[in-house]
Amino acid sequence: MYSESDLQAAVDAKVLTPEAASAFRSHIASVRAAPGADEESFRLITGFNDIFVSIAAVILLVAVGWIGASIHPALGGAFVAASAWFLAEYFTRKRRMALPSIVLVLAFSGGVFATMVGFLVKHGESIFGRDVGETTGAILIGSMALVTAAATWLHWKRFMVPITVAAGTAALAATAVALVLAVAGVASPDGTLPMALVLIAGLGVFTLAMWWDRSDRVRQTRRSDVAFWLHLLAAPMIAHPVFHLLGVTDGSDIGSGAAVMVVGIYVVFGLIALAIDRRALLVSALAYVLFALTQLFREFGAVELNVAMTAFVIGSALLLLSAFWQNARAVVVGFLPDNLANQLPATTRTVSLQPAS
């Protein structure tokens, strides 16, 4: 299976002409009855060898981390980060394997962060004392996240793995949240302040994702893959704080009014997802709307089958939306001003009554 990035690389290497690549894309779109941009494709697995190599890499990284930690807590993460970089030189830079590259960049970023955590575990008490205040702790977390972001940036410059940008952005977001909490002092007992900061950071990540998306509206280059992972990062950072502020995450039953509000917010998320042609928001908020609908069915007396009815309604709605995604998206984008619609991923704007097959 070949991704858009592979096709573009073939064009750049003059293996395929731009016309041949365009004809191939048009053929695939006609066979699937959907434009390539609407498929939201991203490269994850090129073959079972990706899974095989990923499993072997995880086993090796666990082993070297274990060995390093037995010598010094900081060396566990350092060994993992160094090994992940070394393996990426071959499996990412030479072989361009998708899933192993994702595993290795996550291992590298996690290893860098774990190195600093291990150092603090060993020497933190002697440096900062037994009682570390919340402000000092937040500054330490922010500093470690910033170092991780810098290391991730170096990894991106070397290997250009799309998920790397999301990993670095997550580290920068953690840095910003931690530093604001450090300046603000004590966080609110109910978690409102941290959640509000995460929401703001999520909106920032979403804006960055849209910037990457706007640079490749037909989704034929690596930039679209970068945008995909950024949207995947932004979605839970937006959805979870929103529903937390509504009290959905408290673990207790919510009233019918709040449940209706949750469903309404999910509909808004759906409209945004259609407009930007990204499904991450719908997936991230799915658990909350399932919970809200379950409460609504219970309120109306369907106690025994409330879970089954909720699953039936949501599952049917999502499958129907998937089948008519292009048509629904054309309608939504059609209501937007042209200057805004022209910034979004390409759409045929043709409304048909036939579902995509």
Whole-number Cα distances in Å, 136 to 140, 178, 183, 288, 351: 6, 10, 10, 34, 57
Output the CA angle 209-192-189, nearest 5 degrees.
145
Highest mean pLDDT among 82-96, 117-131, 208-222, 334-348 belongs to 82-96
**325 vs 187, residue with greater confidence:** 325
Q: What pLDDT digit, counting tens, does each position of 278-319 carry?
A: 999 899 888 888 888 887 777 666 556 677 888 888 899 999
Q: What pLDDT digit, counting tens, does each position of 206-247 carry?
A: 999 999 999 888 887 888 899 999 999 999 999 989 888 877
DSSP 38: G
Nearest to 81 by CA among 95, 68, 98: 68
What integer pLDDT is reported at residue 351 of this predicted model?
A: 39
Residue given tokens 């570390």 in the structure block:
132
DSSP H helices, the chain, are: 4-12, 18-32, 48-71, 73-91, 98-128, 134-159, 162-184, 192-214, 222-245, 256-276, 280-284, 286-299, 306-323, 325-334, 338-341
Q: What is the pTM of this model?
A: 0.82
- pLDDT of 37 > 60? The answer is no
* Confidence bin at 182 (pLDDT 50/70/90): confident
What integer pLDDT is reported at residue 310 of this predicted model?
A: 84
* Average model confidence (pLDDT) across the chain: 84
CA distance 240 to 246: 10
Highest mean pLDDT among 111-120, 246-255, 256-265 belongs to 111-120
- pLDDT of 354 > 90? The answer is no
**258 vs 321, residue with greater confidence:** 321
Cα 191 from chain centroid (whole Å): 23
- pLDDT of 154 > 70? The answer is yes
- pLDDT of 350 > 50? The answer is no
In a 13 Å sphere around the CA of 174, the CA atoms on its Cβ side amount to 19
What integer pLDDT is reported at residue 144 of this predicted model?
A: 93
- pLDDT of 30 > 80? The answer is no
Domain residue limits, the chain: 48-245, 247-357
DSSP 40: T
Nearest to 278 by CA among 244, 316, 315, 329: 329
**Range of weakest confidence among 67-81, 163-177, 242-256:** 242-256
Looking at this protein, which amino acid is placed at residue 94?
K
